[in-house]
Amino acid sequence: LHITKIDIMTSASNDLSAVTNTLTDDVSSWEGKNLISVTQMTTSGILRLFETAQSMRNLVRSKGGDDRLKHKVLASVFYEASTRTSCSFQAAMMRLGGTFLHVDGGKGGNTSASKKGESLEDTIRCLECYTDVTVLRHPTTGSVQQVALGDGTVKPVINAGDGVGEHPTQALLDFFTIFDELGLSLDVDNGNNTADNSHTGPLVVVLLGDLKHGRTVHSLAKLLARSSLKHELVLRYCAPASLEMPAHVKEYVQQCTDVKQEEYSDMSEAVKGANVLYVTRVQKERFETTEDYEKVKGAYVVDTSLMEAAPQGMIVMHPLPRVDEISTDVDSDPRACYFRQMENGMFVRMAILALILGAP
């Protein structure tokens, strides 16, 4: 059974049905809203976000920022370790004239809330008394959604990663990077990419590494599949035997039109004809034992020999941090765009904050 992309909902949680496809090209549809899942955005809404991110990039490069979010305060609440996501959201807020409060809710962190037995909902409700928007990361899958869609919160909540569930802002910055680097066109009004390097033919994306625990690849696969591209999409999954893409993600993608899914074990075969190689680290913190981690650590390493055999137009992405899955020798290759990808993260999160806080 194939259904139109605009009607697809996540099968894992019916609670999201009320907000599915509600973020559109109308800027008022974003104002004051939560961002919990990639299923909330229509393709026209994605284009609106991308155009806003491009304007943010121009703003930063020309003026450094502005004051459109002056007197606005962000609550940066992380119950898991974070460097890139937390810092890019904080930088995004400051670039637009706002400020932030950071709460490290993890073990040994700077908050007493969880140590005193306070519920997550109460913690966020209290922080809302001082702030205008919350960015929340939590190790329990579904926890951010529960907080955001419950009766307790009254201000917008942005999902910064919930266990092995979703990481929607990472998926959006990843998609923006692919869109920008390859010159993709979206199948909506004004969606044609007029860049000199505009992409033609199928879009072949290789997702490599720990696909079981990688919430970034879960969200990216769903986002690419549900978006209306003017290109056939081919998703290639390349993972160690115990770390394959979860069935629920593949089932979701299977419902989408104009998408093929392929599975590989040989990395050199997977990259043949590819446009994007998206690399993920094997996440030690997700394994129950060190022995299990050691069995799959280093299963795939992207090095100069692989890049010599890979297509000349193939970009290499990584959500970072990396351990040993991409050799540092690859960094000088112009196809390595993971640091450009990180910078895009700030531009996309500036766009998200501006849209949600009503100042695009």
- Give pLDDT tens digits for 44-87: 999 999 999 999 999 999 999 999 999 999 999 999 888 999 99
Using the predicted structure, report yes or no on whether residue 197 has a pLDDT greater than 70.
no
In three-state secondary structure terms, 341 is helix
- Looking at residue 281, its pLDDT comes to 83
- The more confidently predicted of residues 214 and 315 is 315
User: Is the pLDDT reported for residue 8 higher than 60?
Assistant: no
Q: Which residues are catalytically annotated?
A: 84-85, 116, 137, 167
Mean pLDDT of 168-186: 95
Cα 301 from Cα 104, distance rounded (Å): 33
Share of the chain above pLDDT 90, in %: 71
82's CB contacts (< 8 A; 6+ apart) are 137, 160, 161
Instruction: Give percent above pLDDT 70 in the chain.
Output: 88
Q: Is the pLDDT of residue 323 over 80?
A: yes
Dihedrals φ, ψ of 343, to 5°? -65, -40
Instruction: Dump pLDDT digits (tens) for 120-176.
Output: 999 999 999 999 999 999 999 889 999 999 887 899 999 999 888 889 999 999 999
Q: Which residues of 152-177 are buried (b: 16+ CB within 10 A; e: fewer)?
A: ebebbbbbbbbbbbbbbbbbbbbbbb
pTM over 0.75: yes
Task: Please identify which residue in the block is written with the tokens 């099968």.
Answer: 11
Q: Does the pLDDT value for residue 247 go beyond 80?
A: yes
Residue 42, SS3 per DSSP: coil
